């Protein structure tokens, strides 16, 4: 991994200036654009291992993507993007279809996208993979958990969308969407179920995974001020063997997520070189676990997670942007949120250097308190990555080199 990391890093650093700008060509008189990106990160933490990586020893992480798109007619646009990553036990370098869609805009206030479509949630859900679009090496993990990206990033279905100007009141953009929730065999949900403190669940099958959502954002008459709200509702069922701890007895499990609703409220204010973001989210979930085999029983599990962040970024010069955020995640708000297992607080500071138009380097410090979720559904901090036991705080340094064209 280290050799691969060094080679990729060197290749990114040496990317020639002629790669600046997109690569495009013409087919039947239509402009076809090809864009790509890749990044190489490195994380080192002083305590707990983070995001399935052995960060306490220093760990590299990589991602990449390439897309092709064209405007077939004035109203019809088609395109597709592949994405792959390697981040600890996540991704396994396997490329997958990130999005592949046809988009027909009947009017500016009414269009339809169909295929595999990026899901709109909060400020950055649909762009969370593209680090070069953001100030941060790692987005606030409360709202944009890198391990659970594939659970929210896209849906196989359709969007209805549009923009509606309202004269002096600014403009509104809306999206209504729905479809099938994709299954990621190399994603965080599978790992979280395996690392469940109550018992080890091997996810054999994801069934009846349906997701639907809505987003409404208002570009207010106040210059630079955007406010919005999103909603996601999802249901799905996980089947597989379940090994109870500490007895070691294995039974068959059907875990039925009967309801999982996420509400997101967000605001962004930009003025000159300053950008302020804030997001607040709440997720309610009701799960029914039916166990059959040597032991039988039915259990209902409820979860009320609350999380969000505030951030500020300032572009000092064309070369340098600096920023900081405070992120909070409470995996189950009503339960013991003062304990280390009841929350994750993350204070991050970043310097982003735009070395070229197509290349940036980020240096980022994280100062985290807590490892919330380990006792129920782990997120970012996994017991199997931390067999020595969890420490209450984790400081982490992240370097990330990003290329795009």
Partner 1 sequence: MKYFQRFLLPAVVAVASLQLAAAADLKIIANPGVTAASVSSDELKAVFLATKTSLGDGHVEPVLAKGGAAHEAFLKAYIGKTEAALETYYRSLVFTGKGSMPKAFASDAEVAAYVAKTKGAVGYVSAGASPAGVKTLEVK
Establish if 130 lies at the interface with partner 1 (CB under 8 A): yes
Interacting span for partner 1 (CB under 8 A) from 183-191, 196-204, 288-296, 314-322: 314-322
For CA atoms 337, 339, 342, 343, the dihedral sign is: positive
Q: Is 221 in a helix, a strand, or coil?
A: coil
Residue from the set 22, 298, 339, 384 that interacts with partner 1 by CB under 8 A: 22
Helix (H), strand (E) at residue 5? helix 2-13
- As measured in angstroms, the least distance from the Cβ of 138 to partner 1 is 18
On the CB side of 371, CA atoms within 13 Å amount to 20
Q: How far is the CB of 85 from partner 1 (least distance, A)?
A: 15
Of 220, 309, 301, 219, nearest in space to 264 by CA = 309
DSSP 8-state secondary structure symbol assigned to residue 192: H
Which listed residue (7, 10, 133, 355) binds partner 1 by CB under 8 A? 133
Question: Which member of 16, 29, 248, 272 binds partner 1 (CB under 8 A)?
Answer: 272
User: Are the CB atoms for 242 and 250 separated by under 8 Å?
Assistant: yes
Answer yes or no whether residue 31 interacts with partner 1 by CB under 8 A.
yes
Smaller CB separation from partner 1, 26 or 318 = 318
Which of 190, 200, 275, 362 binds partner 1 (CB under 8 A)? It is 275
- Per DSSP, the chain holds a count of helices (H) and strands (E) of 3, 18
Q: How far apart are CA 403 and CA 358, in angstroms?
A: 6
Stretch that binds partner 1, among 111-119, 143-151, 185-193, 325-333 (CB under 8 A): 111-119
Could you tell me how many residues of this chain bind partner 1 (CB under 8 A)? Answer: 43
Which of 108, 299, 356, 392 touches partner 1 (CB under 8 A)? 108
Q: Which two tokens stand for residue 376?
A: 């129920």
Smallest distance, partner 1 to C-beta of residue 190, A: 25
Binding pattern to partner 1, positions 226-245, x when CB under 8 A?
Answer: --------------------
Q: Of 51, 61, 126, 377, which lies in the binding site for partner 1, with binding defined by CB under 8 A?
A: 126
Query: Rounded to the nearest whole angstrom, what is the least distance from the CB of residue 86 to partner 1 in the complex?
Result: 20
φ/ψ of 9, rounded to 5, equals: -60, -45
In this complex, which beta carbon is closest to partner 1, that of residue 172 or of residue 345?
Answer: 172
Considering the complex, state which of residue 65 and residue 308 has its C-beta at the smaller distance from partner 1.
65
Cα–Cα distance measured from residue 201 to residue 123, given in angstroms and rounded to the nearest whole number? 33
Give the contacts of 175 (CB within 8 A, at least 6 positions apart). Answer: 120, 159, 160, 161, 213, 214, 215
φ and ψ of 73, to 5 deg: -135, 180
Q: Does 346 bind partner 1 (CB under 8 A)?
A: no
Nearest of 405, 391, 401, 399 to residue 365 by alpha carbon: 399
Question: 56-85: which residues touch partner 1 (CB under 8 A)?
Answer: 65, 67, 69, 71, 74-75, 77, 79-81
- Half-sphere exposure at residue 238, Cβ-oriented, CA atoms within 13 angstroms: 21
Tell me which stretch binds partner 1 (CB under 8 A): 29-37, 243-251, 280-288, 380-388.
29-37
**Least spacing, CB of residue 260 vs partner 1, in Å:** 24
Smallest separation (angstroms) from partner 1 to the CB of 32: 10
Q: Report the b/e string of 234-262 with b at 16+ CB within 10 A.
A: bbbbbbbebbbeeeeebbebbbbbeebeb
**Residues 5, 163, 243, 254: which binds partner 1 (CB under 8 A)?**
163
> Which lies closer to partner 1 via its Cβ, residue 118 or residue 379?
118
Residue for token pair 């969370």: 128
Interaction between residue 39 and partner 1 (CB under 8 A): no
Sign of the Cα pseudo-torsion (16, 98, 61, 2, in order):
negative
149-to-125, 145, 186, 204 alpha-carbon distances in Å:
9, 6, 11, 20
Residues that bind partner 1 (CB under 8 A): 22, 31, 33, 35, 37, 65, 67, 69, 71, 74-75, 77, 79-81, 99, 101, 103, 105, 108, 113, 117-118, 126-127, 130, 132-133, 163, 165, 171, 173, 223-224, 270, 272-273, 275, 315, 318, 321, 354, 404
């Amino acid at each position: 991994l280290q050799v691969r990391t060094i080679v990729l890093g060197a290749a990114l650093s040496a990317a020639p200036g002629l790669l600046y700008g997109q690569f495009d060509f013409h087919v039947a008189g239509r402009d076809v654009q090809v864009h790509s990106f890749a990044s190489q990160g490195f994380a080192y933490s002083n305590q707990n291992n983070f995001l399935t990586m052995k960060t306490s020893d220093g760990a590299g992480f990589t991602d990449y993507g390439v897309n092709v798109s064209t405007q077939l007619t004035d109203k019809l646009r088609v395109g597709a993007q592949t994405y792959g990553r390697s981040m600890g036990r996540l991704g396994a370098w396997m490329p997958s279809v990130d999005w592949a869609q046809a988009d027909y805009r009947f009017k500016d206030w009414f269009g339809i996208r169909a295929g595999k479509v990026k899901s709109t949630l909060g400020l950055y859900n649909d762009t969370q993979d593209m680090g070069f679009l953001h100030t941060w090496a790692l987005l606030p993990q409360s709202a944009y958990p890198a391990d659970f990206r594939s659970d929210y990033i896209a849906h196989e279905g359709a969007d209805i969308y549009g923009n509606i100007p309202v004269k002096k009141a600014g403009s509104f953009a809306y999206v209504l969407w729905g479809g099938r929730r994709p299954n990621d065999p190399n994603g965080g949900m599978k790992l979280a179920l395996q690392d469940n403190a109550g018992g080890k669940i091997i996810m054999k099958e994801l069934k009846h995974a349906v997701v639907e959502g809505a987003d409404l954002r208002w570009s207010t008459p106040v210059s630079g001020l955007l406010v919005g709200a999103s909603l996601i509702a999802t249901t799905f069922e996980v089947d597989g063997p379940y090994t109870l701890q500490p007895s070691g007895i294995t039974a068959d499990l059907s875990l039925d997520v009967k309801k999982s609703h996420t509400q997101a409220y967000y605001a962004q204010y930009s003025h000159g070189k300053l950008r302020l973001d804030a997001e607040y989210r709440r997720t309610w979930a009701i799960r029914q676990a039916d166990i059959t085999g040597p032991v039988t029983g039915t259990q209902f599990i409820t979860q009320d997670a609350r999380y969000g962040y505030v951030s500020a970024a300032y572009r000092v010069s064309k070369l340098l942007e600096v920023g900081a955020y405070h992120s909070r995640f409470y995996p189950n708000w009503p339960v013991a949120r003062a304990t280390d297992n009841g929350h994750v607080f993350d204070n991050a500071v970043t310097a982003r250097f735009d070395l070229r138009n197509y290349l940036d380097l980020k240096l980022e410090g994280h100062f985290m308190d807590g490892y919330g979720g380990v006792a129920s559904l782990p997120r970012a901090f996994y017991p199997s990555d931390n067999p020595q036991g969890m420490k209450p705080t984790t400081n982490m340094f992240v370097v990330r080199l990003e290329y795009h064209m």
